[in-house]
């Protein structure tokens, strides 16, 4: 299991294919450090693997909810701002168990459903009942992944899970995701909600980037400040600019026919905050706009990805 120290927190969002290669090394180190065990028995390596797969994308680093880090045995047992989440030997008295069972809300993992299966819950319960042992294993010190320059959704997803799905998911603190926008997986992000939030190849026209960068209001995450750090904002921008690439390296298709609404400052004759658009005879122009004015443009995305303005007005 990886120990993600505070001085390495700037690398936390970069979970991608290269990180998975590093994870293979971690798994090998764990395997070498402990004798073979019955996979059906509740041992720490199995619990650690489950936490890494379903929980660590949120519960790691300086933005871990309630300061609860689940990246190592020691940090799990250290608990959160509210105290211990695992009470060795006491399954009913462990808040972690109540959350994954759904007996305490919000149920975890927060990006569920799907939530943990009955077998996965039983694994954690069995481990706690056995005293939450470390089983003689050692959580290896992490090696920062090599930056291959490729930004995929796997790099962006941990940021969204740590800072955004607390509102933008079906299992959120809200009665429903604001404006129907779910940020739980790639398909949901690209689909958007009431409006499109990602225009592949065009971050200046993408509400997701505009909101986290503070270009559009209200700035997100809504519980900020603190806002996202500059490197995470830059990562989201790069991901969109390079085509909103999936984990296999495929760029997202152009969402032709979808609509966007941009509210901001006029930065050019046919530009808002750097997002260019095309004015046609069919564009409804309600006000004469000049550089520096606050304005709103509504546009439809053409097959080539350009924005065809349908309405322009001052704000």
C-alpha 30/C-alpha 308 separation (Å) is: 55
C-alpha 35/C-alpha 140 separation (Å) is: 16
Pick the last residue of a domain from 191, 210, 241: 241
Residues 15 and 115 in one domain: yes
Is 168 within the bounds of a domain? Answer: yes
At residue 41, the pLDDT reads 63
Residue closest to 63 by CA, chosen among 13, 1, 115? 13
Is 147 within the bounds of a domain? Answer: no
Each residue's pLDDT tens digit, 196-239: 999 999 999 999 999 999 999 999 999 889 999 999 999 999 99
Residues 104 and 10 in one domain: yes
Residues 80 and 157 in one domain: no
At residue 238, the pLDDT reads 97
Each residue's pLDDT tens digit, 4-45: 333 333 334 444 444 444 444 344 433 334 334 344 467 899
Structural domain boundaries enclosing 26: 6-129
At residue 148, the pLDDT reads 72
Residues 21 and 111 in one domain: yes
At residue 8, the pLDDT reads 32
Residues 55 and 114 in one domain: yes
Highest mean pLDDT among 56-70, 97-111, 168-182: 97-111
Residue closest to 276 by CA, chosen among 180, 189, 199? 199
Residues 266 and 227 in one domain: no
Output the average pLDDT for the chain. Answer: 86
At residue 53, the pLDDT reads 87
Hey, which residues does 296 pair with through a beta bridge?
263, 313
Neighbours of 212 (CB within 10 A): 23
The token pair at 242 is 């390079």
In degrees, rounded to 5, the angle at the alpha carbon of residue 48 between the alpha carbons of residues 146 and 161 is 65
Q: Is the pLDDT of residue 269 over 50?
A: yes
Residues 159 and 237 in one domain: yes
Each residue's pLDDT tens digit, 171-206: 887 778 999 999 999 999 999 999 999 999 999 999
- Say if pTM beats, i.e. exceeds, 0.85: no
Distance of CA 295 to the CA centre of its chain: 30
Please name the residues in contact with 129: beta carbons below 8 A apart, sequence gap of 6 or more.
Answer: 42, 89, 91
């Amino acid at each position: 299991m990886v120990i993600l120290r505070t001085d390495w927190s700037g690398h936390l969002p970069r979970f991608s294919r290269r990180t998975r290669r590093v994870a293979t090394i971690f798994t090998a180190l764990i395997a070498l450090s402990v004798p073979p065990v019955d996979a059906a028995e509740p041992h720490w390596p199995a619990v650690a693997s489950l936490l890494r797969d379903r929980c660590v994308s949120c519960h790691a680093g300086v933005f871990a909810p309630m300061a609860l880090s689940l990246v190592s045995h020691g940090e799990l047992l250290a608990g959160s701002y509210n105290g211990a989440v695992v009470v060795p030997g006491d399954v009913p008295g462990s808040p972690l168990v109540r959350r994954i069972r759904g007996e305490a809300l919000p149920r975890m993992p927060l990006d569920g459903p799907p939530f943990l299966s009955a077998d996965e819950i039983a694994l954690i319960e069995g481990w706690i009942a056995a005293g939450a042992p470390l089983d003689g294993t050692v959580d290896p010190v992490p090696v920062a992944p090599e930056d291959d320059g490729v930004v995929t959704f796997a790099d962006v997803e941990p940021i969204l899970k740590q800072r955004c799905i607390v509102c933008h998911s079906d299992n959120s603190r809200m009665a429903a995701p604001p404006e129907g926008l779910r940020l739980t997986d790639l398909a949901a992000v690209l689909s958007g909600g009431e409006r499109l939030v990602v225009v592949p190849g065009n971050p200046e026209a993408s509400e997701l980037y505009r909101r986290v960068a503070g270009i559009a209001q209200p700035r997100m995450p809504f519980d900020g400040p603190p806002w996202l750090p500059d490197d995470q904002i830059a990562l989201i921008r790069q991901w969109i600019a390079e085509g909103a690439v999936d984990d296999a390296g495929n760029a997202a298709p152009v969402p032709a026919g979808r609509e966007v609404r941009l509210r901001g400052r006029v930065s050019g004759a046919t530009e808002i905050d750097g997002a260019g658009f095309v004015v046609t005879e069919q564009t409804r122009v309600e006000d004469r706009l000049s550089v520096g004015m606050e304005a709103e443009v509504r546009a439809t995305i053409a097959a080539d990805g350009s924005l065809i303005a349908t309405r322009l007005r001052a704000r």
